[in-house]
Amino acid sequence: MVTREDVENIALLSKLFVPEEELDSLTQSMQEIINFADEINKADADEEGFDNINNLSNVFHEDEVVESYPVEEILKNAPEQAEDHFLVRNRE
């Protein structure tokens, strides 16, 4: 059973605000999706486990220093920047 409190808690973990007026409809919609997801609990218990697909294995590289992207290029996409840093203000 998904409750309003569950949705509020999950939203907080997800760093999303849910407006008070949308809370009931979102709770209901989450409940419907969870009911749908609950289908999997009807499967037999003897699942076979899963670790990776197509026998992929870890790839190791030598720890080489390679050229990276220029700081000013990376900062161009930031909403705010100061000198060579991303800028995060506590207040607007």
Partner 1 sequence: MGTISKIHEMLVSGECSCAELTKSYLDEIEKANPELNAYVNVTPDEAMRAAQAVDKKLAAGEEIGMLEGVPMTLKDNLSTKGIETTCCSKILTGYKPIFDATVWEILKSRNAVMLGKTNMDEFAMGSSCETSYFGGAMNPVNTNHVAGGSSGGVSSAVGGNIAAYGLGSDTGGSIRQPASFCGVVGLKPTYGSVSRYGLIAYASSLDQIGPITKSVEDASIVFDAISAPDRRDSTCKGNVGGATYPTLDNDIKGMKIGIAREYLDGVRDDVREAVLEAAKVYEALGAEIVYFDLPILKFALPVYYIIACAEASSNLGRYDGIRYGYKTAHYNGTHDMICRTRSEGFGEEVKRRILLGTYVLSAGYYDAYYKKAQNLRGTIVKAFDRAFEQCDVILAPTVPMTAFEKGHAVSDPIETYLTDICTVPVNIAGLPGVSVPCGFNSKGMPIGMQLIGKSFGEAQILNAAYKYQQAAPDKFMDTKWGVRL
Q: Do residues 84 and 71 touch, judged by C-beta distance below 8 A?
A: yes
Question: If binding is defined by CB under 8 A, does position 29 make contact with partner 1?
Answer: yes
* Least separation in angstroms between CB 84 and partner 1: 13
* Least separation in angstroms between CB 23 and partner 1: 12
CA distances from 81 to 29, 78, 92 (A): 39, 6, 14
* Least separation in angstroms between CB 24 and partner 1: 15
* Least separation in angstroms between CB 63 and partner 1: 13
Instruction: Record the tokens describing residue 63, joined without a space.
Output: 């720890």
Q: Using CB atoms within 10 A of its CB, is residue 59 exposed (0-12), middle (13-18) or buried (19+)?
A: exposed
Question: If binding is defined by CB under 8 A, does position 86 make contact with partner 1?
Answer: yes
Q: What is the DSSP letter of 8?
A: H
Residues that bind partner 1 (CB under 8 A): 2, 6-7, 10-11, 13-18, 26, 29-30, 32-34, 36-43, 47-51, 53-54, 56, 58-59, 61, 69, 73-74, 76-80, 86, 88, 90-92
